[in-house]
Amino acid sequence: MYHLPFPSPDSDVDADQALLALERLFEVEISSEDVACIIVEPVQGEGGFRRLCPQFAQRLQSICKDLGILLIIDEIQSGFGRTGRRFAFSQLNIEPDLLLIGKSIAAGLPLAAVVGRPELMNALTKGGLGGTYSGNALACAAASQVMKLMTEDQLRTWGIQQEEMILDFHAALKATHLYPMLGPLTGIGCMRGIVFESTPDVTGAEHLAKLLVFAREEGVLLMPSGRHKNILRLLPPLTTEAEILQEGLACIERALRKL
């Protein structure tokens, strides 16, 4: 397994740099003929909710097709309306060979799925892929109902409402000029991260670590993300009522006042 730089509008890595890294990988580390697949998130989850550069995504798809490499898109965190569309890969104007989905698919019950082109999925022999708990009937029944309830318009409506609330919350905090550690937002739709920047003698990660403690005291559990653990994840369920989300954001603001 090899890891490459992730090009994003939310980072200092651009598409050209990432493509050059991929080219060098094939020249120095491993022949493209020995690469079965490339896996990428359209929006990084643990990486800080950074968006994948569309130009890179489209070029990567072209490279994979030319070299016979499968392009696998991981939407376990970003799928089902988090970014404003059913799946984020559609916003990049690409079509993966295989799609990884989970979490929201079964409304909280443990279920994940691999979706792919028929010629790939049909290549499996019966019983060739499975596990002890695969195909749990209850989880699959829940997923079936979720698929019926989730329409593109409904997902977009829920996502836009939450996105607007998060954007307004961040803008209002920045406008006060009381929180010098608050940096920009990352992500897209309602899948957002707030960057915590360093101030004299205190790193962004230290600021965020303190905030997590204060937020817990206020009644809300938060998670850090990003390479340096300095990005606050905001990823409420799409079914969260506006009043509940507003209450959670208010808890975060009260926690910020304690920093």
Q: Which CATH number fits the domain 15-150, given the four candidates 3.20.20.70, 3.40.640.10, 3.40.50.150, 2.160.20.10?
A: 3.40.640.10
Tokens of 50: 């950074």
Give the pLDDT of residue 126. 81
Q: Under CATH, domain 153-257 is a member of which superfamily?
A: Aspartate Aminotransferase, domain 1 (3.90.1150.10)
What Å distances lie between residue 55 and 12, 34, 94, CA to CA? 15, 25, 10
The per-residue pLDDT for range 78-91, each reduced to its tens digit, is 999 899 888 999 99
Give the pLDDT of residue 163. 94
Q: How confident is the model at residue 49 (pLDDT cuts 50, 70, 90)?
A: very high
Element (H, E) at 114: strand 112-116
The per-residue pLDDT for range 139-159, each reduced to its tens digit, is 999 999 988 888 777 777 888
**Sequence spans of domains, the chain:** 15-150, 153-257
Give the pLDDT of residue 207. 98
Whether the predicted pLDDT of 240 surpasses 80 = yes
Q: How confident is the model at residue 128 (pLDDT cuts 50, 70, 90)?
A: confident
Does residue 182 contact residue 171 with C-beta atoms inside 8 Å? no
92 burial type by CB count under 10 A (0-12 exposed, 13-18 middle, 19+ buried) = buried
pTM of the model: 0.92
